[in-house]
Structure 1
Amino acid sequence: MSLMKEFKAFAMRGNVVDMAVGIIIGGAFGKIVASFVNDVLMPPVGMLLGGVDFKELKYVLREDVLNEAGEVVTKGATLLYGNFIQTTIDFLIIAFAIFMMIKAMNRMQKKEEAKPAPAPEPPKPTKDQELLAEIRDLLKK
């Protein structure tokens, strides 16, 4: 039973929960970027390159072998380099976005560190010091 308690303490620690939230948000962010690349960025790039659909770019190493009935007997081999190009662009966009976010966080952290700490309030004089100050003031008069 102590193993379960240790695991519960580990799983409920703040940094583990924060990491889990980060992974979930990162996965969702990855889907958004993939959609941006596939649906918004690549169609105009493909048009500029003569109507190329990057998903369709491939190099066939070996064609499928069909029998007389048209059924696949031996599966062919294909290099899908267009998909690789799109995935690489996804990665670069995600990496750049994370870089910019970390850069902004570091800039905010430096601003926080650069703020001078407020000067500590001077300690109140003790009774003896107050009495001595009164004596000094009386002597000045």
Structure 2
Amino acid sequence: MIKEFKDFISRGNVLDLAVGVIIGSAFTSIVNSLVTNLLNPFLGKIDLSNLILKVGGASFKFGSFINSIINFLIIAFVVFLIVKSVNKLMPKPEKKPAGPTPEQEYLREIRDLLKNK
């Protein structure tokens, strides 16, 4: 069982995931700071947290839920803009030719000639 665990931990996927989680948490703090400190004051802080629906003895704070949705949409839009900007900066992968390369054509011709002998 220890060997299986060691094999599991040493896989590339687990290490990649760990790095992704660490970078993701650092990136989250940057995006949250951008939204909280720069965008919210610019847009004007919308506070709907005082909207409460009381049914019987239960209180439903749907205003806080709406605030969370608004913050999510702002953060999602900021992440979208960042990813879009990074994609423009990154080099685009080379497109592979749709058809076979000339070398492949020559190899096919040689193969066909050898088959016919």
TM-score normalised per structure 1: 0.54
Tell me what 2:37 maps to: 39
Give, in whole Å, the separation in 2 of the partners of 1:40 and 1:92.
14
Q: Equivalent residues in 2 for 1:57-76 (5 A)?
A: 57-58=48-49, 59-62=51-54, 74=57, 76=59
Q: Using the TM superposition, give the Cα deviation of residue 41 of structure 1 relative to its aligned residue in structure 2, in angstroms.
A: 0.6
- Residue 100 of structure 1 deviates from its aligned partner by 4.2
Paired residue total:
94
Structure 1 stretches lacking a partner, 5+ long: 47-52, 66-73, 115-141
1:57, 1:83 within 8 Å by CA — same for their partners in 2? no
Compare 8-17 and 37-46 and name the one that shifted more.
8-17
2:60 alignment partner in structure 1: 77
1:62 match: secondary structure: strand
Cα deviation, 1:14-66, whole Å, max 9, x if unaligned, reads 232022101110121012101111111111111xxxxxx22x22422129x9x
Check conservation: 1:30, 1:94, Cα contact below 8 A: no
Runs of 4+ with >2 A deviation: 95-106
What is residue 92 of structure 1 aligned with on the other side? Answer: 77
CA contact (8 A) 1:38 1:86 kept: no
CA distance in 2, matches of 1:28, 1:20: 13
Offset, 1:104: 4.6
The gaps in structure 2 that reach 5 residues or longer are 98-117
Matches within 5 A, 1:6-45: 6-45=4-43
* Pair 1:83–1:11, CA change in 2 (3 A): same
User: TM-score, normalised on structure 2?
Assistant: 0.63
- 2:94 is aligned, of 103, 110, 121, to 110
Answer yes or no: is the 8 Å Cα contact 1:61–1:77 preserved in 2: yes
Give the whole-Å Cα distance in 2 for the aligned partners of 1:18 and 1:105: 20
Q: What is the identity percentage for the equivalent residue pairs of Structure 1 and Structure 2?
A: 34
